[in-house]
């Protein structure tokens, strides 16, 4: 499963991951392999990524939108802290 976290200034993160948890508008949710296609807006909050080697990476995003489709995740956010 591949994820890209993109801001207008640059691509923050790109790579193969096991799972990601994002702060969805209707509550935080986790995306695992073969997740159903979804488009959701995101609240400001933390994004937890679990990489292939089980390492955890966290980003604090300033809201945004996520699109999941065919094991490709694209997360658009305006800024990352």
Mapped onto helix, strand or coil, the DSSP state of residue 81 is coil
Rule CB under 8 A: choose which of 13, 24, 28, 57 binds other proteins: 24
For residues 49 and 41, give the distance between their C-alpha atoms in angstroms, rounded to a whole number: 18
6 binds other proteins (CB under 8 A): yes
Instruction: Point out which residues pair with 50 in neighbouring strands.
Output: 19, 56
The nearer residue to other proteins, 16 or 78, going by C-beta atoms, is 78
Q: Encoding tokens for residue 17?
A: 């991951």
Instruction: Tell me, residue by residue from 32 to 51, as one string, x for binding to other proteins by CB under 8 A and - for no binding.
Output: ----xxxxxx----------
Under 8 Å between Cβ of 62 and 22: no
* 12 interacts with other proteins by CB under 8 A: no
**Chain residues in the site for other proteins (CB under 8 A):** 4, 6-11, 24-26, 36-41, 65, 67, 69, 74, 76, 78-79
């Amino acid at each position: 499963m591949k994820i890209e976290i993109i801001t207008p200034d640059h691509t923050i993160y790109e790579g193969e991951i096991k799972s990601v948890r994002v702060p969805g508008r209707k509550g935080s949710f986790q995306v695992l392999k073969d997740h159903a296609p979804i488009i959701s807006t995101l609240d400001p909050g933390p994004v937890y990524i679990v990489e292939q080697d089980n390492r955890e990476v966290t980003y604090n995003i300033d809201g945004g939108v996520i699109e999941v489709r065919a094991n490709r995740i694209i997360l658009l956010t305006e800024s990352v802290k």
